[in-house]
Structure 1
């Protein structure tokens, strides 16, 4: 199972949206959703949380997951299991990841996260 997440935040309004792309056996499941008003870093954590909630709701626990994010702060925080600034969001994310059999988190450049990025942008424009 592959999970790609991204967040988009409007600097003017602080509205945010998540893009979630799940790929299993070549089949894509795409979703986008509104996020609470926040800064972009918080929105990236909230997008990851939304992605894992979607994965668990759609496919159940005990999945093996390759999780891809273009947020260095999300990837590094998961790797260290620590974040001073985003402790609450990180603990929520780690709790969701613990329900999976194994999670491999990988930071990728934005250019490789195009699907989730487009979904987040679409979700942001739906709020306008």
Structure 2
């Protein structure tokens, strides 16, 4: 199983944002630091999810376990519902991609267990300054 750690970060809220994606499995690790431009922290968390899903699909990973420190994103995916209507299109896009996997799991983890993805997201912010 592939483990995927995701995080979105902003400098200000809204502000310059970045996504971090850390993928490990099959004896290797992949790091992605993705500049996102200006958006809110919650938007950055959703975009981190979307970028990670696209990467997994491109890599043809079929069994994935996502880890996020965003309870908002984890709950939205689990319930297949975004309370904030502004996030509904982002969630819908994610759910469509999730359907392509043989197995998909998402789990909330504390920020202390997501330090690699957080550092990658912050690196993406710094690249935009």
Shorter-normalised TM-score: what interval? over 0.9
5+ residue gaps, structure 1, are none
- Partners of 2:31 and 2:120 within 8 A in 1: yes
Deviations 1:37-81 (A, max 9, x none): 210011100111011111111x225x1111000000000001100
2:30 aligned counterpart, secondary structure: strand
**Partners in 2 of 1:37 and 1:93 — Cα distance?**
20
**Paired position in structure 2 for 1:91:** 92
5+ residue gaps, structure 2, are none
Deviation, 1:12, is 6.8
Within a 5 Å distance, the mapping from 1:46-65 to structure 2 comes to: 46-57=47-58, 59-60=59-60, 63-65=62-64
Provide TM-score, normalisation by structure 2: 0.92
Aligned length: 126
2:5 is the counterpart of 1:9: no
2:53 aligned counterpart, secondary structure: helix
Greater shift after overlay, 11-20 or 68-77? 11-20
Q: Which has the higher strand share?
A: 2
Q: CA RMSD in A?
A: 1.3
- Which consecutive aligned stretches of 4+ in structure 1 deviate over 6 angstroms post-superposition? none
**Paired position in structure 2 for 1:25:** 26
Deviation, 1:96, is 1.2
Greater shift after overlay, 115-124 or 10-19? 10-19
**Partners in 2 of 1:67 and 1:112 — Cα distance?**
13
**Paired position in structure 2 for 1:67:** 66
